[in-house]
Amino acid sequence: MKFVMLPKVWEEPAEELEAAGHERVESVDDADFLFFSGGAGDLPELPKNIRFVQTTYAGMDGLAEAGLLTDAVRWANAGGLYADTVAESTLALMLGAGHLYKFATARASWSTQDEAQEKTDFLFHDKTVAIVGAGGIGRRLIELLEPFGVRVVAVNRSGRDVAGADEVTTFDELGEVWGRADYVVLLAPLTEETRGLVGKKELEAMKDSAFLVNAGRGGLVDTDALVEALRGGAIAGAALDVTAPEPLPDDHPLWGLENCLITPHVANTIPMMHALTGRLAVDNARAFEAGEKMPTEVDPKAGY
């Protein structure tokens, strides 16, 4: 098949697609499928010759919010492709929050030792971790958490078993999870159902010793409610790779909170995307040509 890459050409994936027998063309009007690496504003009007779109992101919320994620064309995302990198980053956020790295570096003083002695939290010490959105990344995180001996509560839509989890529950039953978890880890996609999933009520239901970790989407959390909870001690701390708004303005109060560790949406990075997406695009194209469902095919109505 012929493919076009927009808004920019990614050489590594292009080489893999060409090695698999596909031909790169310059115009969307000449292509059978689009390898798309941009945001909603970069998506061109899709001519009828485009049979499917391969995006380089796992999240489809930006396209959905712009009204571009329609069933006029088939879509494939990068769901699960970045499980290793995002799970590693999520574990780092958990450890950084529990070990008070932001607190110590913000103070830039050895005088933090006494308080850190009292408040440092160890995953090894009888902890329960709730993973909200226990898909591919969540399953990989469970594997990384295994040596720590934590109790894992996996939360998904279906309630189906999740390998390595001690128990599985659904989003509908989240109400009883907030108060049991020492770490609430958000890895869910952003949909109409999950937007604002964590607000004032949920934060107040959490333990005052608990940590909120978000490596999913910023819109899962009510940011104003989180600021209030962190300032008032409703929870011990937060660690965020994603925020709402995003980018987070330099003068936003979250930056100044000693109990809020923030990384700038780098749980996965563009160099890793370049390295990994070619093989996925090849696999999806092969399935499409065979008349099969693509490995990461997206349901436009569900948004993922």
Q: What does the DSSP assignment read for 108-135? A: TSGGGHHHHHHH---TTTT-EEEEES-S
Residue 48: alpha-carbon gap to chain centroid: 32
- 48 Cβ contact list (under 8 Å, min separation 6): none
Q: What's the order of all strands across the beta sheet hosting 260-262?
A: 167-170, 151-156, 128-132, 183-186, 211-214, 237-240, 260-262
Q: What is the per-residue burial (b if ≥16 Cβ within 10 Å, else e) of 238-249? A: bbbbbbbeeebe
Catalytic residue among 157, 195, 265, 279: 265
Nearest to 119 by CA among 218, 283, 258: 258
Q: What is the per-residue burial (b if ≥16 Cβ within 10 Å, else e) of 257-279? A: bbbbbbeebebbeeeebeebbbe
Per-residue tokens: 216: 């999913």
286 is catalytic: no
Catalytic residue among 246, 274, 279, 297: 246
Q: Tell me how far apart the alpha carbons of residues 247 and 270 are, in angstroms, rounded to a whole number.
A: 16
88 is catalytic: no
Per-residue tokens: 74: 């088939």
| Helix spans in 49-199 (H) | 61-65, 83-98, 101-107, 113-119, 136-145
246 is catalytic: yes
Q: Tell me how far apart the alpha carbons of residues 176 and 169 are, in angstroms, rounded to a whole number.
A: 10
Cα 30–36–40 angle (5° rounding)?
A: 115
Instruction: Give the strand pairing for 167-170 and 183-186.
Output: unpaired
Catalytically annotated residues: 217, 246, 265
